[in-house]
Amino acid sequence: MAQTILITGGTGFIGSHTVVELIEHGYDVVIADNLSNSKLEPLNRIERITGTRPRFHEVDMRDRDGMNALFEAEPGIQAVIHFAGLKAVGESVEKPLEYYENNINGTLVLCETMRAHGCKTIIFSSSATVYGENPVPYVETMQKLPASNPYGWTKWMIEEILTDLHTADPTWNVMLLRYFNPIGAHPSGLMGEDPRGIPNNLLPYVAQVAVGRRECVHVFGNDYPTADGTGERDYIHVMDLAAGHVAALEWMLAQPEPSVEIFNLGTGKGTSVLEIIRAFSDACGHEIPYVIDPRRPGDLPASWADATRAKEILGWEAKYDIAQMCADSWNWQSHNPEGYTD
């Protein structure tokens, strides 16, 4: 019988793509999301792509009764992939209480509910942000450095909370996946990133300029100590990231003993802002206008993964290049210029 996996935040960007990948690998998927940063439409898209409609529960992670009711209605949950959380860095600086409350409390209530129902296997969406100002490439064995914003601290702290949980009760099986910069979209053009308001992240911004929703890209600084002076990041195709979750889950469920494991999910390569703009211009077939602005406070010059551990242990590595990431982003954006419309 298919194993049942609960995906929190499963109507969001990374969650929805991971749901597709899980269904295609034969898993039975249940989604929990409060729709604070997503819509219901991805459920229709998932069904169109896979032929299966995942079960959906509209519930807030912090709602004890709601979470309990979910686990009662879905008695066979074997593992949880926990994507649900607020993720806008700038907003987290303005609303620290909301970010700590949502991300930390949501995780605590989720774990308490899991424990009460005998499910102690969790994969958590962490971030490269926990490496702080370590030198690149980032290796999992590096010490974590202080975060520069409340969002980053929530990732930092939830890693600690889940590690403490395993220390106190070694039957907890914990996987911390540190994502680099997820971009791209499902190759069908049916699913992609649909940020609310003005995008903070580079790729959705570039895509909206390409489609004519915004005037020009603002490049945040061209005086960094990098090859062309603009910031370098490890962009990873969201489908590669989704495949990384399936590889992580399969590996985890096959281990004889529960443990706490950390894996970077990145490509191991850095790409600059100007290289991204050029690659996206090639993908969409026209020039993308940009201006050079001052640096954005808190930005690092460069961030990329040492992706060796995931390859050696999980047998997973990213396979899509920047050209494909931009082509798939463009395919999504050009077919859905206003994102998901119901």
CA angle 313, 151, 266 (to 5 degrees): 25
225, with CB counted inside 10 A (0-12, 13-18, 19+), is exposed
Which is nearer to ligand UD1, 87 or 237 (by Cβ)? 87
Kindly state the smallest distance separating residue 59's Cβ from ligand UD1, in Å: 24
Cβ atoms within 10 A of the Cβ of 171, count? 12
Binder of residue 326, out of ligand UD1, ligand NAD, none (CB less than 5 to 8 A by kind): none
Rounded Cα distance, 178 and 131, in Å: 10
Give the chain's end-to-end CA distance (angstroms, integer).
33
Say how many residues touch ligand NAD, by CB under 6 A.
27
Q: Per rule CB under 6 A, is residue 14 in the interface with ligand NAD? A: yes
Phi/psi-derived region of residue 184, left when phi > 0, alpha when psi is between -120 and 50, beta in every other case: left
Kindly state the smallest distance separating residue 249's Cβ from ligand NAD, in Å: 15
Q: Per rule CB under 6 A, is residue 152 in the interface with ligand NAD? A: no
Q: Per rule CB under 6 A, is residue 13 in the interface with ligand NAD? A: yes
Cβ atoms within 10 A of the Cβ of 249, count? 24
Q: Which stretch binds ligand UD1 (CB under 6 A): 54-62, 76-84, 296-304, 329-337?
A: 296-304
The residue from 151, 179, 235, 320 that is catalytic is 151
Q: Which stretch binds ligand UD1 (CB under 6 A): 45-53, 215-223, 263-271, 311-319?
A: 215-223
Kindly state the smallest distance separating residue 115's Cβ from ligand UD1, in Å: 28
Residue nearest to ligand UD1 (CB): 231
Q: Per rule CB under 6 A, is residue 138 in the interface with ligand NAD? A: no
Element (H, E) at 127: strand 121-127
Which is nearer to ligand UD1, 119 or 210 (by Cβ)? 210
Give SS3 for 120: coil
Give SS3 for 237: strand
Q: Which stretch binds ligand NAD (CB under 6 A): 22-30, 175-183, 206-214, 310-318?
A: 175-183
Phi/psi-derived region of residue 9, left when phi > 0, alpha when psi is between -120 and 50, beta in every other case: left
Kindly state the smallest distance separating residue 13's Cβ from ligand NAD, in Å: 4
Q: Per rule CB under 6 A, is residue 57 in the interface with ligand UD1? A: no
Q: How far is CA 1 from CA 26, 76, 85, 134, 286, in A?
A: 9, 11, 31, 45, 50
* Cα dihedral value 308, 312, 318, 319, nearest 10: 120
Q: Per rule CB under 6 A, is residue 231 in the interface with ligand NAD? A: no
Instruction: Indicate if 151 belongs to the active site.
Output: yes
Which is nearer to ligand NAD, 179 or 263 (by Cβ)? 179
Rounded Cα distance, 59 and 65, in Å: 10
Q: Are 332 and 296 in contact (CB under 8 A)?
A: no
Rounded Cα distance, 44 and 188, in Å: 14
Sites for ligand UD1 among residues 84-103 (CB under 6 A):
87, 89
Residue nearest to ligand NAD (CB): 12
Residue 174 phi, psi (nearest 5): -125, 135
The set of catalytic residues is: 151
Contacts with ligand UD1 by CB under 6 A lie at: 87, 89, 127, 129, 152, 181, 200-202, 205, 218-220, 231, 233, 273, 296, 298-299, 303
Contacts with ligand NAD by CB under 6 A lie at: 9, 11-15, 33-38, 60-62, 83-87, 102, 106, 125, 127, 179, 181-182
